[in-house]
Amino acid sequence: MARAMKNMGLTRLVLVEPQEFPSDKADARSSGAVDLLTNAKVVSSLPEAVAGCGLVIGTSARSRHIPWPLINPRQTAIQVLQEAP
């Protein structure tokens, strides 16, 4: 995750109750993005993690039966641009 974030210019990583943190395995997989892990904020709940965020978008490869609104990547990009300051 840290490497993907860094590739996209994202810098603020917030972790909700990670099983293991800090993690040598995560550092090894971050491939040059250890700074994001080093500066990551650890919180105890999702509401705490997203406090102060104007827009929150979640993604998953898993098929879910949760009644969340679903939008495709193109629609997501349009919404992000509309919400940007």
> Which domain does 65 fall in, by range?
2-83
What is the Cα Rg of the chain in Å? Answer: 15
Read off the pLDDT band of 5 (50, 70, 90). Answer: very high
Domain CATH number, residue 11: 3.40.1280.10
For residue range 65-74, what is the model confidence (pLDDT) as tens digits? Answer: 888 888 999 9
Determine the pLDDT at residue 25. 93
Is residue 19's pLDDT more than 80? yes
Please give the average per-residue pLDDT across 17-36, as a whole number. 93
Structural domains of the chain, count: 1
Name the average pLDDT for the chain: 91
Neighbours of 52 (CB within 10 A): 6
Is residue 36's pLDDT more than 90? yes
* Angstrom distance (rounded) from CA 24 to CA 29: 9
Q: Across the strands, what pairs with 15?
A: 42
